[in-house]
Amino acid sequence: MKFFLYQIFFFSFLLSGCSSFPVYDSEDTDPFEGYNRAVFEFNITIDENLIKPVASGYKDIVPEMAQKGINNFFDNLSSPVIILSDFLQLKIFNSGVDLSRFLINTSLGVLGIVDIAQYIGLQANNEDFGQTFGKWGADQGPYLMIPFLGPYTVRDFVGKLAEYPFEFPDSLFGEEYFKYSLISLKLIDQRSRLLVADNEIEAAFDPYILVREAYLQRRFFLVHDGNPPEIEGDFLDAYSEEDFLEPEL
């Protein structure tokens, strides 16, 4: 869906200023470009006719404070994945920080609706299983555009599948209807926060290339914890690690 495409674009950077950032061979990375482009168009069609209208209505109707609380709640649900990823990368201090955030926000923050930990100086880390596999030396594999899910590499897609039981465990959510309702709400909330990026990506000469390059470069950046090799000075001068993190509402 277009939501996923915008998520990568909006939370990374405008590639028009980063054409000299050679971190991979695009032809080798995207051997299935014909198939990927077809799926890309399919996802955009689904978004334009279903996801975007719902997200627009959500943004117009739900108060901003409630939107912030919903976003915080889902960020808190992702904490077990972040904590385990920290630990598996031997980032013990970060693991302790993220565990503290999870315990504080789940209890004092009412299941994470209020990010109490942020106000006492405990900032969230950005880690996932895809980054962990990258740290272990796993190759990213071919770039893939997944129907309904958007851009991935093989490594990141395997990581995302592995994360699902930790973020939405059956033992916690019970009924399938309740669990998938929460997942749907999460997607709608995230898409609503990306409506501001619509004009940027629609104005691109080739939106497919824009999304692909932004996704691959952002993932490369994250795997290397904001200090990737072979990045030219202009890129580092123009962007900082904060540019790759999700903005607040």
Task: Tell me: pLDDT of 207 over 80.
Answer: yes
CA atoms within 13 A on the CB side of 172: 11
Q: Per residue in 73-125, pLDDT tens?
A: 999 999 999 999 999 999 999 999 999 999 999 999 999 999 999 999 999 99
| 27: exposed, middle or buried (Cβ count in 10 Å: 0-12, 13-18, 19+) | exposed
Is the Cβ–Cβ distance between 192 and 56 less than 8 Å?
yes
Rounded-to-integer distance, Cα 85 and Cα 172, Å: 21
User: How many other C-beta atoms are found inside a 10 Å radius of the C-beta of residue 47?
Assistant: 22
* Residue 147 φ/ψ, nearest 5 degrees: -55, 130
* Residue 78 φ/ψ, nearest 5 degrees: -80, -5
Tell me what the mean pLDDT of segment 127-152 comes to. 94
Task: Tell me: pLDDT of 230 over 80.
Answer: no
- Structural domain boundaries of the chain? 2-243
Q: What Rg value do the Cα atoms of the chain yield, rounded?
A: 18
Continuous segment of H or E residues that includes residue 55: helix 52-61
pTM value > 0.75: yes
Provide the mean pLDDT of the chain.
Answer: 82
